[in-house]
Structure formats: structure tokens, C-alpha cells
Amino acid sequence: MITSQHARVRMQQRGIPEQIVENIIAYGSTRKVAGGAIARFMSNKDLKGLSRLLPKNECTQLDRHKSVYVVMDDGHIITVGHRTKRFYN
């Protein structure tokens, strides 16, 4: 996965581990956002399903970072952040 410099800086500033970003991309839900990009995030439904697939320590870490979202465009990570509002359909 290609990560922009902006996304790497934001991950460091916001304390978001790279493993969390990888799990969100692999297992998270998707919503379209402005500009044609997509946002990936972990819903409660996604977290429940992962409890059977991932080791307990990874599930615990994902649960602590369940507000994290990843904005992507053409397979490139543009930015990451913490949700403060819901994603709507």
C-alpha cells in the first residue's frame, strides 16, 4: 500500500499504528467521500466479525482505535484520522 507523506505525518501526530491502518484497509467498511475518494473504517459489525478471525490482542487494539478512518484514492492512502461524526450512506 502506498502511503502519502501527509498520511505518515498524520499517523504519527495522531498516534495511529500502521498495523491498525492495515487492518482497517483489509477488514473495514467503505464509504465514498468528496472528490471521489473512499473512506475505510471499522464498524461495530466489522469488529464483532473480526473477533473470530484475529488474535485477541489485535482485536483489543482495534477496539481501542475504532474511531480511526483511512481516506484512499486509487489504492493510495491520502490521510488518516479519528472520526468525530458518523459516516452516513
Position 21 scores a pLDDT of 94
3-state SS class at 47: helix
Structural domain contains residue 54: yes
What string of pLDDT tens digits covers the 89 residues of the chain? 789 999 999 999 999 999 999 999 999 999 998 888 999 999 888 888 888 888 888 888 888 888 999 999 998 999 999 988 877 65
Domain encompassing residue 26: 2-82
Structural domain contains residue 87: no
Position 62 scores a pLDDT of 83
Position 60 scores a pLDDT of 86
Structural domain contains residue 61: yes
Structural domain contains residue 45: yes
Structural domain contains residue 75: yes
User: Which DSSP helix (H) or strand (E) runs through 82?
Assistant: strand 76-82
Structural domain contains residue 88: no
Position 89 scores a pLDDT of 58
Task: Report the number of distinct structural domains present in the chain.
Answer: 1
Structural domain contains residue 89: no
Cβ atoms within 10 Å, residue 1: 13
Amino acid at 74: D
Structural domain contains residue 27: yes
